[in-house]
Amino acid sequence: MARKTIAEIRKDEIIKAFFKVVSEKGIAKATIREVATAAGCNRGILHHYFAGKEEIIKGAVDYVMTIYKAELLEGLSECDSATSRIKYLVSWFFDLCRFNLDFSRAWMEFVNLSKYDPTVSSTIRDCYEEVKGVFAKTIREGIRSGEFRKLNPVVTANVIMANLEGATLLWVVDAEKTPVKNMGKQIEDMITKYLASGQLNFVGICKGTARRAPTKN
């Protein structure tokens, strides 16, 4: 992997600072001055890389797609079956070191803004389409290999994303009472069972969900 330039490092720092400020203040109240301060630079330097908040938002989503997608695909390449790839995909989304509470709060702010801003909406939509495409491709591979039953890969990919984003939303709304890490394991179990046979052991799932565990922020 090529070494990052100073400009790339500085842009990454600004984007990470933006996630932090937005998670605390919300997009509407987050100011360029606060983002610059959090990034350890002045407003002039920030404006050298980003004209305003809209450009930082697009840069933040592009950052997620470029950096995290590369990590995701690298991990998938090490899996030897469609089932293991699905499990890896779900566990990747619940990696709280990568997608921590600050990130998740900021991301939900971006999603909310996308309802009113066409540019942000297009960027967020493209991001989700990319991820759903990875799920759909993996499901098709599982159907061909006989690991998964025959179903609609596109619809199923949307259902999986709805589960993942729903868990994130609950965590953002009430982090203290949402055992997100345990939920990730239950969702992984539900999805793999559904793909394989279409049958779910709801009793076991409910019992597993009832056990509280410390929530990581």
Q: How far is Cα 85 from Cα 172, in angstroms, rounded to an integer? A: 27
**How many whole angstroms separate alpha carbon 166 and alpha carbon 39?**
30
Residue 1 confidence class, pLDDT cut points 50, 70, 90? low
Residue 31 lies in a domain: no
% of the chain beyond a pLDDT of 70: 90
CA distances from 26 to 64, 102, 107, 150, 199 (A): 19, 11, 10, 43, 41
Judge whether 108 lies within some domain: yes
- Between 207 and 8, name the one with better pLDDT: 8
Flag whether 158 is in a domain.
yes
Amino acid in the structure at residue 65: M
Residue 210 confidence (pLDDT) above 80: no
Please state whether the predicted TM-score (pTM) of the whole model is above 0.85. no
- 185-211 as b/e, with b when 16 or more CB fall inside 10 Å? bbbbbbbbebbeeeeeeeeeeeeeeee
Q: What is the CATH number of the domain that holds 151?
A: 1.10.357.10
Q: Is the pLDDT of residue 198 over 80?
A: no
Q: Tens of pLDDT along 96-111?
A: 888 899 999 999 998 8
Q: How confident is the model at residue 199 (pLDDT cuts 50, 70, 90)?
A: low
Q: Is residue 160's pLDDT more than 80?
A: yes
Length of the chain, please?
A: 217
pLDDT band at 70 (very low <50, low <70, confident <90, very high): confident
Contact 208, 183 (CB under 8 A): no
Does residue 187 lie within any of the structural domains? yes
Q: Which amino acid, residue 40?
A: G
| pLDDT interval class at 120 (50, 70, 90) | confident
Q: What angle do CA 7, 12, 18 make, to 5 degrees?
A: 125
The verdict on residue 103 lying in a domain is yes
Q: In this structure, which amino acid lies at residue 94? A: F
Say which residue, 212 or 19, is predicted with more confidence: 19
Domain boundaries, position 200? 60-210
Residue 132 lies in a domain: yes
pLDDT at 24 exceeding the cut of 60: yes
**Least trusted range by pLDDT, from 7-21, 85-99, 196-210:** 196-210
Within a domain: residue 206?
A: yes
Q: Over 70: is that where the pLDDT of 40 sits? A: yes
The number of folded domains in the chain is 1
Q: Is 51 domain-assigned?
A: no
